[in-house]
Structure 1
Amino acid sequence: MRLRLIFDAGQLAEDAQAGITFPDGELAEWRFVAGEDLDQYTIARLARRIHTAIAAKNRGQAVYAEHGTEPTD
């Protein structure tokens, strides 16, 4: 069983953005991506989870999702 959590940590100030580095070389770049563009940048199951998290945030709610999909009552 795996547990995946997504948190909204607020906005990252420009000086903090400028300080982002990848000393181990595992990553080469980073970027902010609009929600509607997620499918172009990540795999479908991760995009689904992020879309669900964005929708919950916009409603001001926390949500427990199964495989990135909100449960239906």
Structure 2
Amino acid sequence: MDWAPNPGEEDKVLYLFDGGRLTTDECRRIGLQANELRGYAYHDVGELPELTILRLVRRITAGIEARANGVTAYLEHGTAPETAA
């Protein structure tokens, strides 16, 4: 979950969901709406900086780490907030 306040657009709460892994057969059955999508691809996490903006790189990377640790991540602008001592 990522809280992204923006004075021009109001506050947003953005979610990144882990849909699991697709089988080869499930990948073959993916249908795209031509008026919305040209295609899809799978990429290594190391390629993210070349594919999207920094804020999304942080959000996706945090999601991958949260999945690996079995937790839900809370972010503010794509970054974990400082914890109070």
Q: State TM-score, norm by structure 1.
A: 0.86
Tell me the percent identity.
Answer: 34
Which consecutive unaligned segments of at least 5 residues does structure 1 have?
A: none
Relative to its length, the structure with more helix (as a share) is: 1
Q: Distance in 2 between matches of 1:38 and 1:7?
A: 17
* Structure 1 segments of 4+ aligned residues over 6 angstroms from their partners: none
C-alpha displacement of 1:23: 2.7
Residue 67 in structure 1 maps to residue 61 in structure 2: no
Which consecutive unaligned segments of at least 5 residues does structure 2 have?
A: 1-10
1:1-73 aligned at under 5 Å gives the runs: 1-73=11-83
Instruction: Select the structure with the greater relative contact order (CA < 8 A; seq sep ≥ 6).
Output: 2
Q: Distance in 1 between matches of 2:23 and 2:14?
A: 26
Relative to its length, the structure with more strand (as a share) is: 2
Q: State TM-score, norm by structure 2.
A: 0.76
Give RMSD over aligned pairs. 1.3
